[in-house]
Amino acid sequence: KADTPAQLMELRQILDDISDMSATVTEETVKAWITEKGYKIGDVMTALRLVIVGESRGPHIFDIIEWLGKEETLKRIERGVSVIGTSAL
């Protein structure tokens, strides 16, 4: 979707602002943000999973984010948005 890169970069900022990257805190924060923004949870979560792990299925995404840590998670989002942006041209 055309708004996916912007949503992911907004989500990147939300994640960057979190000090506790535990799966529980991250999940609560991200889901609250999705609800607040009125986004479709499935769209955001699928896009997040794709840029983080490269597949639409797998282990709980917030467990993966906790395991990867903040720095790697943010890098993967940036890289994913870059790829999405170039593939849309």
The CATH number of the domain holding residue 56 is 1.10.10.350
Indicate the pLDDT class of residue 3, thresholds 50, 70 and 90. confident
23-80 residue pLDDT tens: 999 999 999 999 999 999 999 999 999 999 999 888 999 999 999 999 999 999 999 9
Provide the percentage of residues in the chain whose pLDDT is more than 90: 82
Euclidean distance between CA atoms 76 and 68, whole angstroms? 10
Domain that holds residue 77: 4-87
CA distances for 68 relative to 52, 72, 82, angstroms: 9, 6, 20
Q: What's the structural domain count of the chain?
A: 1
Q: Give the global pTM.
A: 0.88
In whole angstroms, how large is the CA radius of gyration of the chain?
Answer: 12
